[in-house]
Chains A and B, each alone.
Chain A
């Protein structure tokens, strides 16, 4: 089967759209939309083929060509379509297709629409490379690729300084994460002589816990960067500067879940190390609470959803940190979250479309009547995310909470609290946006979006509600060869005491959310003395932490060195460049002086190195 075509199709689309120039402006977006759809159809065919294979052999491993090979080193550009990656392929191309279609309407009036679709196609190609890779190096390639696409798309409206800054921030924070992944790759190369999943998994069995822990932490660092987990979470909220379909596709449904994919894919390594696995679970738990906290305090609808995304990915990370028992639940929640979060982001986009791109929920209210379809579809997403019985989120999130309880009571309790807060802030969002009084700006006339935008909403809403029911039970068995977990059946009506407890807490959250926001909502954000609220509004001071921990020391070093360069080096050069011809005497004097000081530096350098040699000799 042509696995490589999955990637090649959107990649060709991106290349064509970028190179075609203005001639393709009028129809480029249609071509761009056709590409992920074609990949989706192909993905379905491959999925069907995998279904037809016996359980253990469900994997297509192809080497497209030898990328780097020398000696016994052989790193092929290899692709692997197995149980895990095919689910991602379907998610990325399926949801991706819907979002492409939606974007036709959303970006209709943007003069750079062709370029937008080119970047979206590029993203799809890179994301597919990431999930289809059969080794960590090709995965890294896709990893960098989605980072690039994300950077380009966040900064798509670069004429807004905030968008350009957000793009840069995402890039910088992600580089920190990439650092972790690349170190993991170097370690694997040194330990196993290979970065193939198969070889690494085989080698990991005999790996000493210390090395496994090291690799585990490196991978976790990578996952934190890409999936906006604490402490590398700060970029995701700013990333909402990008066009809303981008937020839906990249910063909710697919790219940000790559960290979860990475951890699940490396589950054999994590099995060898208790410490790193626990660290994953802790990071997940902290993030799920932090995200919920931020989501509860924001007035910007996209930022509420962004905080919620962080939080939900925290759930997935937590599940992935529970070992084989949780891995398939992580992927399950990842898929259902992909549906309902994309649904809600696109819904938010539809709302913004009708509200002159205002994102402040305090300026919304009573939109349920004027935007019927958006309201209903959003409502389905809402039910799914809070875990209303029989919706998608109900199944996937409950599994995680139960598994967490089995592992550790404290984490289980925190996970339930998280579910309660989720219910609270989502109810708050619903109340402020769709119910209550009109608080619209003067010249705003809300209207329903065109069909090209609402149809994807409807499809995603249906998936938000029903996908969980269909996948529940099946997905554990399907993923078993990858995650190494024995499938145990959980029926559709599988109510446990913990399940009831969760429902109770969620109901409480909904109730509080409704009670607090049933009355008037001030048009302007009231100032608050509430420390918790203040911290949430300021993204839990993530930027300040980054600033003090990383940015300032780095700037200090750079400015120190720059000062040295300016005063000692540039002084002469710049001086002589501005002094034209006649000032030879001045120049000669300055020049001699400075060459002398250069010589001095050289001499001091020798002495410093001599000290190094002496110290090395002593040591």
Chain B
């Protein structure tokens, strides 16, 4: 008898996995469109398809959130519980906003923010030819969807190997997208390469950490790791090293110090819509994965990683806030601001307040809320950034923002709103977000960290104010002034929705907070 290896076909929960499948299907269909659809139809088809896929996936996510009981799915590789649905929803919202910004073609003389032909050498005749023919890359939409797909898996992964695979799935499209800016292409390509190299390094370190955790626990499943830690058997140094190295990959994606080093270059080099997407979605997905890895798999090591993250949080807030003070380029400023926000989020992570009876605000809910408020303000701010232009592209120098309050009060008001929300001024969403994560750390017993965080948020308020002051209180400099171009409905809708959401979440955050609190329970 020959012993045939029997492979049982896994049972998949198609209904529960449908949001993932819709996004993946949309991405694959997008690739097909590139191959068969005539060039002039691709933009319309691709943008509509991407938007449709995201909307449908969002609808299915909501449906599952309401109907399905939390459970493990896809051979226990994914955990479909409250936090997963929350983060999927956040990711899909930012995905939709990104589609809108990607599809914007009314700015900069009817061109998108992406290179006409990314394969051409910058400055070469081929590039000029592609420009003259008004070529454009509609592949950006499938790339966006692939990335989104990876992020959704990342946020729901219940298995350390799946975590790694998900990182690679969402990172590779991002590396490509980063290098596709229309303007300052050398800068953009350089950023892409840097992002790729450093990202690979971080992934490699994380993979090593995962393998050490496997060595400790004898399994990839989070539940198995958790059980091994609770059992107390096994080598402690192995476990701690595994924990540390695994955290590196996650902290890298979040943009926390000392693994933040790529952020300013990449944010500055990438096309603004991609920067916005990275700043929001990558951070959301990575925080979601971080929460699951550390709260679920490594919950038994809480005392160890709380200290680790507290130190990282302080360093991150300090570096992000103080460095941002010195910036004169709005995208670079927002890059450092994103680093600072990563620090504030980590403050919430340190709290580690589990959901349960009598708990007002579990850490997961606080952090999700913070990410939401940060995300909408980021998309709003980047929408404005894409609109303010001068000859040869966006006007990113703060010089160009001077006097905007007089020349275009509506846009200046909206930008002010987003800046105030970033700074955490009351009645904006950012204030409630900061209150929530700080309260999480405070209840978790990290009062000193909250004190540091509040000091840092005071410092951070200055550089947001710098933008506000430039817009309202400084006179425009004739040479450097930027002009606000009128975008299409795509960008306008992102802008308006962000502004309204920033106000609504600042004025009546109760409903959303309750929703998030009810969905803050992890399953194993």
Interface residues of A (CB under 8 A from B): 65-73, 137, 140-141, 144-145, 155, 158, 164, 171-172, 175-176, 178-179, 182-183, 186-187, 189-190, 193, 554, 557-559, 561-562, 565, 569, 572-573, 576-577, 579-582, 587, 591, 594-595, 598-599, 601-602, 604-606, 608-610, 612-613, 616-617
CB–CB B123/A576 < 8 A = no
| Alpha-carbon distance A600/B247, docked complex (angstroms) | 17
CB–CB A591/B184 < 8 A = no
CB–CB B240/A617 < 8 A = yes
CB–CB B308/A609 < 8 A = yes
CB–CB A606/B244 < 8 A = yes
Query: A-B pairs with the 8 shortest C-beta distances?
Result: A605-B258, A581-B123, A71-B360, A70-B513, A69-B510, A616-B307, A562-B326, A73-B360
B-chain residues with CB within 8 Å of residue A601 when the two chains form the complex:
258, 261
CB–CB A175/B198 < 8 A = no
21 A-B pairs within 8 Å (CB atoms) are namely A67-B510, A70-B514, A70-B517, A71-B517, A145-B426, A155-B473, A158-B473, A183-B451, A557-B318, A559-B326, A561-B326, A565-B264, A572-B190, A572-B265, A573-B190, A577-B184, A580-B123, A598-B262, A602-B248, A605-B257, A613-B307
Q: Which residue of A lies closest to B365 (CB)?
A: A70
| Alpha-carbon distance A145/B431, docked complex (angstroms) | 14
A-chain residues with CB within 8 Å of residue B435 when the two chains form the complex:
68
Interface residues of B (CB under 8 A from A): 122-123, 184, 186-187, 190, 193-194, 197-198, 201-202, 205, 240-241, 243-245, 247-248, 252, 257-259, 261-262, 264-265, 268-269, 303-304, 307-308, 311-312, 318-319, 322-323, 325-326, 358-361, 365, 425-427, 432, 435, 438-439, 442-443, 447, 450-451, 454-455, 458-459, 461-462, 465, 473, 507-510, 513-514, 517
Minimum CB–CB distance from A204 to chain B (whole Å) comes to: 18
CB–CB B323/A591 < 8 A = no
User: Of B244, B262, B269, B443, which contacts A610 at CB under 8 A?
Assistant: B244
User: Of A172, A182, A599, A617, which contacts B197 at CB under 8 A?
Assistant: A599
| Alpha-carbon distance A135/B324, docked complex (angstroms) | 34
Q: Which residue of A lies closest to B432 (CB)?
A: A68
CB–CB B438/A605 < 8 A = no
| Alpha-carbon distance A617/B455, docked complex (angstroms) | 28
Q: Which residue of A lies closest to B248 (CB)?
A: A606
Minimum CB–CB distance from B331 to chain A (whole Å) comes to: 11
A-chain residues with CB within 8 Å of residue B465 when the two chains form the complex:
171
CB–CB B509/A613 < 8 A = no
The SS class assigned to the B binding surface is: helix
User: Of B187, B198, B247, B450, which contacts A573 at CB under 8 A?
Assistant: B187
B-chain residues with CB within 8 Å of residue A579 when the two chains form the complex:
186
User: Of B244, B442, B507, which contacts A189 at CB under 8 A?
Assistant: B442
Q: Which residue of B lies closest to A155 (CB)?
A: B473
Q: Which residue of B lies closest to A167 (CB)?
A: B473
Q: Which residue of B lies closest to A193 (CB)?
A: B360
CB–CB A67/B194 < 8 A = no
CB–CB B461/A175 < 8 A = yes
B-chain residues with CB within 8 Å of residue A559 when the two chains form the complex:
326
CB–CB B510/A178 < 8 A = no
CB–CB B187/A186 < 8 A = no
CB–CB B361/A70 < 8 A = yes
CB–CB B458/A179 < 8 A = yes
B-chain residues with CB within 8 Å of residue A595 when the two chains form the complex:
193-194, 197-198
User: Of A70, A72, A172, A602, which contacts B510 at CB under 8 A?
Assistant: A70
CB–CB A612/B442 < 8 A = no
With contact pairs A175-B458, A565-B326 given, residues A68 and B473 touching in the complex (Cβ less than 8 Å): no
| Alpha-carbon distance A612/B459, docked complex (angstroms) | 26
With contact pairs A186-B450, A617-B240 given, residues A67 and B360 touching in the complex (Cβ less than 8 Å): no
Interface hub of B186, B451, B508 (most chain A Cβ within 10 A):
B186
Interface hub of B190, B318, B425, B462 (most chain A Cβ within 10 A):
B190
CB–CB A144/B197 < 8 A = no
B-chain residues with CB within 8 Å of residue A179 when the two chains form the complex:
454-455, 458
| Alpha-carbon distance A175/B451, docked complex (angstroms) | 14
A-chain residues with CB within 8 Å of residue B261 when the two chains form the complex:
569, 598, 601-602
| Alpha-carbon distance A608/B256, docked complex (angstroms) | 14
| Alpha-carbon distance A439/B510, docked complex (angstroms) | 64
Minimum CB–CB distance from A335 to chain B (whole Å) comes to: 28
| Alpha-carbon distance A591/B513, docked complex (angstroms) | 45
Q: Which residue of A lies closest to B465 (CB)?
A: A171
Minimum CB–CB distance from B282 to chain A (whole Å) comes to: 17
With contact pairs A577-B187, A609-B312 given, residues A71 and B455 touching in the complex (Cβ less than 8 Å): no
With contact pairs A602-B261, A605-B259 given, residues A72 and B197 touching in the complex (Cβ less than 8 Å): no
Minimum CB–CB distance from B512 to chain A (whole Å) comes to: 9
CB–CB A561/B517 < 8 A = no
User: Of A186, A565, A587, which contacts B323 at CB under 8 A?
Assistant: A565
CB–CB A144/B425 < 8 A = yes
CB–CB A190/B258 < 8 A = no
| Alpha-carbon distance A193/B359, docked complex (angstroms) | 10
CB–CB B258/A164 < 8 A = no
With contact pairs A175-B461, A595-B194, A606-B244 given, residues A186 and B432 touching in the complex (Cβ less than 8 Å): no
| Alpha-carbon distance A178/B221, docked complex (angstroms) | 46
A-chain residues with CB within 8 Å of residue B241 when the two chains form the complex:
610
Q: Which residue of B lies closest to A594 (CB)?
A: B194
B-chain residues with CB within 8 Å of residue A171 when the two chains form the complex:
465
| Alpha-carbon distance A158/B510, docked complex (angstroms) | 39
CB–CB A69/B308 < 8 A = no
User: Of B193, B323, B427, which contacts A561 at CB under 8 A?
Assistant: B323
| Alpha-carbon distance A489/B201, docked complex (angstroms) | 79
With contact pairs A576-B186, A602-B201, A613-B308 given, residues A558 and B513 touching in the complex (Cβ less than 8 Å): no
CB–CB B508/A591 < 8 A = no
| Alpha-carbon distance A81/B317, docked complex (angstroms) | 40
B-chain residues with CB within 8 Å of residue A65 when the two chains form the complex:
508
A-chain residues with CB within 8 Å of residue B244 when the two chains form the complex:
606, 609-610, 613
A-chain residues with CB within 8 Å of residue B438 when the two chains form the complex:
186
| Alpha-carbon distance A3/B433, docked complex (angstroms) | 29
CB–CB A608/B265 < 8 A = no
Q: Which residue of A lies closest to B268 (CB)?
A: A573
User: Of A140, A190, A606, which contacts B426 at CB under 8 A?
Assistant: A140
A-chain residues with CB within 8 Å of residue B325 when the two chains form the complex:
558
Q: Which residue of B lies closest to A559 (CB)?
A: B326
Minimum CB–CB distance from B268 to chain A (whole Å) comes to: 7
CB–CB B439/A612 < 8 A = no
B-chain residues with CB within 8 Å of residue A581 when the two chains form the complex:
122-123, 186
With contact pairs A70-B517, A179-B458 given, residues A591 and B190 touching in the complex (Cβ less than 8 Å): yes
| Alpha-carbon distance A65/B511, docked complex (angstroms) | 13
Minimum CB–CB distance from B205 to chain A (whole Å) comes to: 7
| Alpha-carbon distance A559/B462, docked complex (angstroms) | 16
A-chain residues with CB within 8 Å of residue B442 when the two chains form the complex:
186-187, 189-190
A-chain residues with CB within 8 Å of residue B326 when the two chains form the complex:
558-559, 561-562, 565
CB–CB B304/A576 < 8 A = no
Q: Which residue of A lies closest to B245 (CB)?
A: A606
B-chain residues with CB within 8 Å of residue A158 when the two chains form the complex:
473
CB–CB A68/B510 < 8 A = yes
| Alpha-carbon distance A518/B331, docked complex (angstroms) | 63
Minimum CB–CB distance from B353 to chain A (whole Å) comes to: 11
| Alpha-carbon distance A580/B451, docked complex (angstroms) | 47
CB–CB B190/A576 < 8 A = yes
Minimum CB–CB distance from B500 to chain A (whole Å) comes to: 17
Minimum CB–CB distance from B472 to chain A (whole Å) comes to: 9
| Alpha-carbon distance A612/B350, docked complex (angstroms) | 15
Q: Which residue of A lies closest to B461 (CB)?
A: A175
With contact pairs A71-B517, A72-B358, A608-B258 given, residues A569 and B426 touching in the complex (Cβ less than 8 Å): no
A-chain residues with CB within 8 Å of residue B247 when the two chains form the complex:
609
With contact pairs A189-B442, A602-B258, A605-B258 given, residues A68 and B509 touching in the complex (Cβ less than 8 Å): yes
| Alpha-carbon distance A598/B199, docked complex (angstroms) | 11
Minimum CB–CB distance from B359 to chain A (whole Å) comes to: 7
| Alpha-carbon distance A488/B40, docked complex (angstroms) | 89
A-chain residues with CB within 8 Å of residue B123 when the two chains form the complex:
580-582
Minimum CB–CB distance from A8 to chain B (whole Å) comes to: 14
CB–CB A141/B201 < 8 A = no
